[in-house]
Amino acid sequence: MLRLTKKADYGLMALKYLAEQAMTPGAPSAQSAKDVAEAYHIPPQLLAKILQTLTRANILVSTAGTNGGYALARPASEINAFEVIRAIDGPLFITSCITIHGTCDLAGHCTIKEPLRKVNDSIKDLLSGIRIADLAEPVEGEGRTPVAGGLVSIAL
């Protein structure tokens, strides 16, 4: 089974939270890393690193200061799961033969490289079609607590 790393899972959860807060009337435009970490019970230090990575990838913007925090750099409908996962974990390859570094030692004799490339491309296309806006739900009233847990699991 192909699974997301905890960091990628946490990154998607954080973006979902930021998208939901952006849809909430009266909510501040930027959310603190602490608020996101508390909402999903994510270790704060790990989340801070993930948010910094997503900021460097131009998926988030950060604002310093008392009312600072993190916000989506683009509308949630323009950010997809694949780019988030790639920003956090790097390129997605299901086998070591499908890499950016060329071919493996068995390239001339391998009979599964092409089928596995198709699987890899299908996963990429699937994740590219999932927008952060698709994950976000409008916040209904005060006191709503997000449910922690995984967002995506792909069984092969």
Class of residue 156 by CB neighbours under 10 A (exposed 0-12, middle 13-18, buried 19+):
exposed
User: 94: closest CA among 68, 70, 113, 108?
Assistant: 113
* Cα–Cα distance measured from residue 27 to residue 5, given in angstroms and rounded to the nearest whole number: 30
Q: Terminal CA-to-CA distance of the chain, rounded, Å?
A: 5
Q: What are the extents of the domains in the chain?
A: 2-141
Torsion of CA 85, 123, 76, 38, to 10 degrees: -50
pLDDT for res 65: 83
**Contact present, 77 and 129 (Cβ < 8 Å):** no
Do the Cβ atoms of 98 and 117 come closer than 8 Å?
yes
Please report the pLDDT score of residue 154 as a whole number.
Answer: 53
At 145 the pLDDT is 46
Q: How many residues does the chain have?
A: 156
36 in Cβ contact with 18 (< 8 Å) = yes
Rounded CA gap, 71 and 6, in Å? Answer: 21
Q: Residue 97 — φ and ψ, nearest 5°?
A: -80, -20
Residue 44's identity, in one-letter code, is P
pLDDT in tens, 93-126: 766 665 555 566 666 777 877 788 888 889 999 9
Split the chain (156 residues) into runs of 10 and give each run's mean pLDDT: 85 96 87 95 96 98 90 97 95 65 66 82 92 82 46 50
Residue located via tokens 């989506």: 72
Q: What is the pLDDT of residue 82?
A: 95
- What is the CATH number that goes with domain 2-141? 1.10.10.10
Please answer whether residues 78 and 131 qualify as being in contact, where contact means their C-beta atoms are separated by less than 8 angstroms.
yes
